[in-house]
Structure 1
């Protein structure tokens, strides 16, 4: 039934600021912006080995009010060095949600709350590397 990750959606009250922050983090600009002129209500990045989509949506369009604290599901993005990625995220202004933890041989996770209130996970995952042939 579930065949693969298509889009991860984050919300931000200031989409332009979030797009700028994620552009700095990812080293690339959004490939899609709506509307094309004026302040964006939605931007989308394609990132990683499989070009997964990360969308940032204006908080006005959230299906329900956002909770005061970050929580819920954590989507983990594979990184080659969790400690370095975690440190970089903190250096860019994210706050620690869970410091790096080894979950077992070949599996390390960490997570942060970005400056816009979204939960962002990073993970070293040996299965990801095998599937990506890297």
Structure 2
């Protein structure tokens, strides 16, 4: 039934600022942008080895009131400590410090400047599948 990560969606009150922040973090421009009534309502990036989708939606289109809580989506990185330090330097706040979860598994998480949880993880299984 669940076949794998498809799209992770974040919300932002200031969508242009969020798109700029993620453009700097990822080093790429969004590949898709949707306008509603003359303003950007949605931007989407394709990132990583499998081109997973990270979408950012103007919070005015959010169902309910999302906040930094609930599940954390972890993205594989080769250097968790370095990724975590960069996120903090870019204005994210600590949610979960760098923690070794077992041999070959290290996680950390932040709250981005827009109130979304973002996890980074070194995951040996990811590398096995990629290989």
Q: Report TM bin, short chain.
A: over 0.9
Which structure: greater strand fraction?
2
Which of 90, 112, 123 aligns to 2:88? It is: 90
For residue 123 of structure 1, what is the aligned residue in structure 2? 121
8 Å CA contact retained: 1:101, 1:110: yes
Aligned residue runs from structure 1 range 55-66, under 5 A: 55-66=55-66
User: TM-score under structure 2 normalisation?
Assistant: 0.96
- The runs of 5 or more residues in structure 1 that have no matched partner are none
Structure-2 separation of matches of 1:76 and 1:38:
33
Moved more, 75-84 or 58-67: 58-67
Find the residue that maps to 1:40 and give its secondary structure. Answer: strand
Classify 1:132/1:37 alpha carbon distance in 2 versus 1 (closer, same or farther; 3 Å): farther
8 Å CA contact retained: 1:90, 1:96: yes
Classify 1:109/1:49 alpha carbon distance in 2 versus 1 (closer, same or farther; 3 Å): same
- The runs of 5 or more residues in structure 2 that have no matched partner are none
1:13 aligns with 2:13: yes
Find the residue that maps to 2:39 and give its secondary structure. Answer: coil
Q: CA deviation at 1:37?
A: 8.9
User: TM-score under structure 1 normalisation?
Assistant: 0.94
Aligned length: 131
Structure-1 separation of matches of 2:85 and 2:27:
16
8 Å CA contact retained: 1:16, 1:39: no
For residue 26 of structure 2, what is the aligned residue in structure 1? 26
Find the residue that maps to 1:93 and give its secondary structure. Answer: coil
